[in-house]
Amino acid sequence: MTDDTKGRNPAAAPLALGRKVRGLSDRALAWVFIAPTIFLLLAINIFPLIWTVWLSLTNYRANRLNAEVKWVGLRNYERILTDPDIWYSMQATAHFLIWTLVLQVLIGFGLAYLINRKFKGNDLWTTIIVLPMMLSPAVVGNFWTFLYQPQIGLFNYVIAFFTGADPASFSMIGDVNLAPWAIVIVDTWMWTPFVMLICLAGLRSIPDSIYEAAECDRASAWRQFWTITIPMALPFLMLAVLFRGIENFKMFDLVVQLTGGGPGSITELTSINLKREAFEKWRTGFASAYAVILFVTVFGLASIYVKALNKVKER
Amino acid sequence: MSSFSVTEPSKGQKWFAGIVVVVYALVTLMPLVWIIATGFKSPADAIAYPPKIVYEPTLEGYVNLFTTRTRMTPEALEEIGPPQTWYDRIVRRYDMVISGPSRYGERFLNSIIIGFGSTFLSIFLGTLAAYAFSRYRVPLKDDLMFFILSTRMMPPIAVAIPIFLMFRQLGLSDTHLGMILLYTAVNLSLSVWLLKGFIDEIPIEYEEAALIDGYTRFQAFYKVVLPQATTGIASTAIFCLIFSWNEYAFAVLLTSGTAQTAPPFIPTIIGVGKDWPAVAAGTTLFLVPVMVFTILLRKHLLRGITFGAVRK
């Protein structure tokens, strides 16, 4: 914008001078353009993060404004790492994470592979498959509780129809053994399309000429699949796993609406557990330490993974 | 198997692939169709066993969604006289009268205001930043870009505590402005990254030509780059809008009344009466716009999803 005040007269300004003036204002302009973004991110992301770290070293409770805030050092961290409930949440999260990733990668890649056979109307059907991932996870979680109702729920009815079991005899979200799978099923229904789309981009990026060369060499379909398709699509597949992994590690909305962490605390993933500590028990300091641990874990795992991903890409 | 070819799939392969994909798509669609259908059922039909596929459609769910009702004694009903409108007639079947509008309309409006407000802001700021990152030599560019991206890895609940405290301090709790700023900050990382990709694709020669023609940098940006980037901006905007529209964690923690959006409100519709059709109606109204959007704009959206992923 600083440039606006300077001459708008091309004929009068020699090009060399113009460059110089522009060069100066370029830099100013760049900062004018970038600053608001950086400022907002600092204010709403970084500053809160630093505040979280500070809070994690205190015994602050957000519902007691006048209580004295005491510095407790690393005691919150110590208590978290020795808390069996929190380790239990970590296990529940790991179960959820691993199974959703396995199912989504297998189904997503399979679908992408089939869609890449370019049958008629494949883009219309792709769009239909993509629909669930566009929806609000909390609202989706909420309406799946209806589908999971014993007896009247559509899910139970369909399962009963195919297995002959009594649809009133099992409750996906009320049963301790079934609830961890109930959340895996809904997440897979919702997010397989994401993995599928990225795999599809990967498959479409493989040049036809490679396959044609392989065909000339009489390479079998099986061999082509393992020596061309998989290695060339692998970076994309790994990227999809990274994104889903980060998202599902943070998982909150879908599961909180679906099971609320229950029955008991069987499906209480770390984010749900954290929300309880922070906004129901109001142990702000403790919860902040918990948040820091989760953030460091995601960040650490993601960085290691990205290193591995870059190695695969370099090959 | 010797006839197998990846580049030119045979007819049989196409048929097989097509059938599997179509079956998967139909199974995927079933829960959505079911919830839309439930919105037009009566409460009794909604919980019927076996689940009813053929039923008499009614707008009861929608009436219940938008109104609050009170039960009245037959004598009191007698006094009011016969129902005047079609929706009165529906609730009168249960000896009830409409006592006022429900909160759903307000919440839906909040979703629209906050969704569009934050989308506008994140596109505005994102375009400026993306342009600067794409065209200028910014010191520490890669670090700044990574910084912007890394803000996305934070679990919402982790930053929710200080944001909650900060908003309480600044008087932003449960306000539209607070939610708009928050969603803008969350969306910015995506919008800067996506938009930078789109702007990178616009040949720099166009601007150079404009500069030689005597445009200032700002004019060149405004008159040359922006029109070229419209498609990219539009698809990025849709992503931001969908995110804000769908967001739940911040909404449920930071809003409770005036600025509450629909996602934290919809689960509360069920109430004690287990009014599934009303929940389904609320869900349908909230989800269908996104579905229609997705189908209409599929080309841009699908490109955007993979593009955002693949570019990084």
Interval A39-98: pLDDT, tens: 998 888 888 889 999 999 998 888 887 777 888 888 899 999 999 999 999 999 999 999
Taking residues A285-310, what's their average pLDDT? 89
B3 CB near a chain A CB, below 8 Å? Answer: no
Q: Which residue of A has its CA nearest to B21?
A: A111
Backbone dihedral angles phi then psi of residue A219, each to the nearest 5 degrees:
-70, 135
User: Chain B: nearest CA to A143, how far in angstroms?
Assistant: 7
CB contact under 8 A, B184 and A137: no
B290 CB near a chain A CB, below 8 Å? Answer: yes
Q: Which fold has domain A76-314?
A: MetI-like fold (1.10.3720)
Q: Of B53, B190, B115, B251, give the one whose Cα is nearest residue A139.
A: B251
* Domains held by chain B: number: 2
A40 CB near a chain B CB, below 8 Å? Answer: yes
pLDDT at B8: 76
CB contact under 8 A, A36 and B128: yes
Structure tokens at B297: 């704009």
Which residues, listed in sequence order, are joined to residue B67 by a DSSP beta bridge?
B101
Structure pTM?
0.87
Taking residues A284-306, what's their average pLDDT? 89
Orientation angle between helical segments A179-204 and B11-38, nearest 10 degrees = 140
Length of chain A: 315
Tell me the pairing of strands B96-101 and B67-71.
antiparallel
Q: How confident is the model at residue A132 (pLDDT cuts 50, 70, 90)?
A: very high
A232 CB near a chain B CB, below 8 Å? Answer: no
Same-domain check for residues B63 and B200: no
Which residue spans of chain A are classified as CATH 1.10.3720.10? Answer: 76-314
A23 CB near a chain B CB, below 8 Å? Answer: no
In a domain, B20, yes or no: no
Same-domain check for residues B185 and B256: yes
pLDDT digits (tens, 9 = 90+) for A186-244: 999 999 999 999 898 889 888 888 888 888 888 888 888 898 899 888 988 998 898 89
In a domain, B139, yes or no: yes
DSSP assignments along A65-119, one per residue: TTSPP-B-TTHHHHHHHT-HHHHHHHHHHHHHHHHHHHHHHHHHHHHHHHHTT--
Q: Please, which residues have CB within 8 angstroms of residue B71's CB and are 6 or more apart in sequence?
A: B94, B95, B96
Tell whether the model's pLDDT for residue A104 goes beyond 70: yes
Same-domain check for residues B224 and B188: yes
In a domain, B123, yes or no: yes
Cα(A179)–Cα(A169) distance, integer angstroms: 14
Same-domain check for residues B169 and B87: no
Residue A14, judged by CB atoms within 10 A of its CB (0-12, 13-18, 19+), counts as exposed
CB contact under 8 A, A252 and B156: yes
Taking residues A125-140, what's their average pLDDT? 92
B48 CB near a chain A CB, below 8 Å? Answer: yes
pLDDT digits (tens, 9 = 90+) for A247-264: 899 899 999 999 988 888
For B55: left if phi > 0, alpha if psi spans -120 to 50, otherwise beta; the answer is beta
User: Chain A: nearest CA to B77, how far in angstroms?
Assistant: 34
DSSP assignments along B230-289, one per residue: HHHHHHHHHHHHHHHHH--HHHHHH-SSTT--HHHHGGGTTTTTT-HHHHHHHHHHHHHH
Same-domain check for residues B128 and B260: yes
Mean of per-residue pLDDT scores for chain A: 86
User: Chain A: nearest CA to B138, how far in angstroms?
Assistant: 7
Cα(B304)–Cα(B239) distance, integer angstroms: 8
pLDDT digits (tens, 9 = 90+) for B216-250: 877 888 888 888 888 888 888 988 999 999 999 99
pLDDT digits (tens, 9 = 90+) for A11-28: 433 444 344 444 446 778
Cα(A155)–Cα(A157) distance, integer angstroms: 5
Same-domain check for residues B143 and B224: yes
pLDDT at B308: 54
- Counting as low any pLDDT under 50, the low residues of chain B are 1-2, 311-312
Tell whether the model's pLDDT for residue A99 goes beyond 90: yes
- C-alpha distances in angstroms, A85 versus A257, A270, A275, A277, B98? 21, 10, 14, 11, 47
In a domain, B22, yes or no: no
Domain boundary residue, one of B102, B130, B156: B102
Q: Please, which residues have CB within 8 angstroms of residue A150's CB and are 6 or more apart in sequence?
A: A156, A167, A168, A169, A170, A171, A174
CB contact under 8 A, A224 and B136: no
Same-domain check for residues B259 and B126: yes
A207 CB near a chain B CB, below 8 Å? Answer: no
CA-angle at A7, arms to A2 and A8, nearest 5°: 100
Q: Which residues of A touch B302 (CB under 8 A)?
A: 126-127, 130, 197
Backbone dihedral angles phi then psi of residue B11, each to the nearest 5 degrees:
-60, -45
> Within 13 Å and on the Cβ side, how many CA atoms surround A262?
12
Cα(B258)–Cα(B281) distance, integer angstroms: 22
CB contact under 8 A, A252 and B17: no
User: Chain B: nearest CA to A176, how far in angstroms?
Assistant: 23
CB contact under 8 A, B161 and A154: no
Reported ipTM:
0.86
B292 CB near a chain A CB, below 8 Å? Answer: no
In a domain, B24, yes or no: no
Same-domain check for residues B83 and B202: no
Q: Which residues of A touch B6 (CB under 8 A)?
A: 211, 221, 224, 228-229
In a domain, B200, yes or no: yes
Q: Which residues of B touch A126 (CB under 8 A)?
A: 298, 302
Domain boundary residue, one of B47, B67, B102: B102
Same-domain check for residues B83 and B150: no
For B138: left if phi > 0, alpha if psi spans -120 to 50, otherwise beta; the answer is beta
Same-domain check for residues B130 and B234: yes
In a domain, B79, yes or no: yes
Residue A15, judged by CB atoms within 10 A of its CB (0-12, 13-18, 19+), counts as exposed
Same-domain check for residues B69 and B135: no
Same-domain check for residues B64 and B193: no
Q: Which domain holds residue B198?
A: 105-268
pLDDT at A6: 41
Q: Given the structure tokens 């800067």, which residue do they identify?
A: B192
B57 CB near a chain A CB, below 8 Å? Answer: no
CB contact under 8 A, A152 and B150: no
CB contact under 8 A, B25 and A125: yes
